Amino acid sequence: MRVVIAEDNVLLSTGLELILNSADIEVAAVVTEGPALVAAVERHAPDAVIADVRLPPTFRDEGVRAALAVRRAHPGLPVLVLSQYVERVYARELLAEDAGGVGYLLKDRVSRVGRFVEDLRRVAAGGTVMDPEVIAQLMAGGGAGGLASLTAREREVLSLMARGLGNGEIGRMLCVTDNAVHKHIGNIFAKLGLPVTDGGHRRVLAVLAYLGA
């Protein structure tokens, strides 16, 4: 796998390179600005992009805007966004597409090297990865509506769904049967007024879109 990194913090970008190289993932380029990310993607045709939400010159949304731009130019290009804080608007915007291959992690998750590499590989394979803190804040912003009616176990299942886990993985983590997971998911979609579907990332995006509404 080859990736392009857009990160202006030299220590973090250097650390990312070391982590990825040790996992046999090639870093094709490291850039520090949005336009340079777009150019690097055109030049290197990477398998995935890792981008900081905020890049020079204004440190507002240049990184995520560039990530969305390369997604538009190359539909389905996997993008993993890193952020210092939870940016609800950007998280929802990134998840608005129904193409999969997206991730949103807080930067402190990078220190958990094994999990970070696993998350990157999941995104590169077309999955969806969300930082637990992002999920929690999106859920908190979803209002009292359908979320208020979810049981504690259903909220737990929803959180694991949003992290990109499949039914089997959720069952193993919660020590319950696949049938129990399927029932919980059916209840979640019913309570949130969403159509029941077995689609992988589509169900995650549908739930998160509702939570962020």
The domain ranges of the chain are: 2-131, 141-211
CA 56 to chain centre: 22
Note the pLDDT tens digit of each residue in 120-154.
999 999 888 877 776 666 555 554 455 677 888 98
CATH of domain 141-211: 1.10.10.10
Per-residue model confidence (pLDDT) at position 33: 94
Query: Mean pLDDT over residues 53-61, rounded?
Result: 87
Q: Is the dihedral of CA 183, 190, 194, 160 positive or negative?
A: negative
Give dist(CA 113, CA 90) in Å, integer.
24
User: pLDDT category, 208, cuts 50, 70, 90?
Assistant: low
User: pLDDT category, 101, cuts 50, 70, 90?
Assistant: confident
Query: Mean pLDDT over residues 49-71, rounded?
Result: 89
Q: Which of 42-46, 113-117, 207-211 has the lowest mean pLDDT?
A: 207-211
Q: Which fold has domain 2-131?
A: Rossmann fold (3.40.50)
Confirm whether 2-131 and 141-211 share one CATH topology: no
Give dist(CA 119, CA 116) in Å, integer.
5
Max mean pLDDT among 29-33, 102-106, 134-138 falls in 29-33
Q: What is the gyration radius of the CA atoms in the chain, in angstroms?
A: 17
Query: Mean pLDDT over residues 160-174, rounded?
Result: 83
Per-residue model confidence (pLDDT) at position 144: 46
